[in-house]
Amino acid sequence: MGGLTVGLILPKSPIPAEGRVGRTEWQDWYRSCAVAAKLYKRREIHLILIISAFKTGSEGSEYERMKAVLVMHGVDPRYITHIEEGLETIEQIQTAKKYMSGKKARLVTFCTLTHWPRVHYLCWKEGLSCRRKVAILGLPRPREALTDAALTILFPLIDLFGLREWFLSQVKKRRSEGVL
């Protein structure tokens, strides 16, 4: 099957480094980038999409950190697209849906194993069609692994009770201050 395949990287943020454990190469976000680069080099994906507006003052942007790993693993920077929007997975998936709208392209998502259930749910809920959803095994921040486990159960309830906008406002407030 010909045509363009876009790889959307939706890992847990590499920044801030605080709370991360183990070597960088073993961490979930790094492994997501490395696997996406591997599929890019095998020509299974043709463009890598990073949707993120998350930055911290001292550690820079999530995008720059991920782009550096992709390039180090052989991805031509011309085939990395950045959309500086989204401080939370919901917004990233909504932006990806807009980006993919009208394109004759397939989408492959890359996310961490602990994040995968929520990414899968949100893609379904938002109507974002994915050819593949790749779950990456890597070391998460322990706190985020717990958050992901809780949100796997709680997020459908948040939607059910119409609290998505409230949830987003809480997350946006923290992330705009550079806090996860």
Amino acid type, 136:
I
Nearest Cα neighbor of 71 from 106, 63, 57 is: 63
Nearest Cα neighbor of 138 from 31, 17, 19 is: 31
Inter-residue contact 87 to 53 (CB < 8 Å): yes
Determine the Cα–Cα distance for residues 126 and 56; give it in Å rounded to an integer.
Answer: 28
Tell me if residue 140 falls in helix, strand or coil: coil
Give the DSSP H/E element, type plus range, for residue 38: helix 28-41
The model's pLDDT over 135-149, given as tens digits with 9 standing for 90+, comes to 889 998 888 889 889
Q: Per-residue confidence of the chain (180 residues) as pLDDT tens digits?
A: 458 999 999 988 888 788 888 999 999 999 999 999 999 999 999 999 999 998 888 888 999 999 999 999 999 999 999 999 988 899 999 999 999 998 889 999 999 888 899 999 999 999 998 888 888 899 988 888 898 899 999 999 999 999 999 999 988 888 777 776
Listed in sequence order, the residues at least 6 apart from 122 whose beta carbon sits closer than 8 Å to its beta carbon are: 89, 90, 93, 128, 155
CA dihedral 19, 20, 21, 25 (to 10 degrees): -170
Could you tell me whether strands 55-56 and 60-61 are parallel, antiparallel, or unpaired per DSSP bridges?
antiparallel
Q: Which domains does the chain show, CATH number per domain?
A: 4-176 (3.40.50.620)
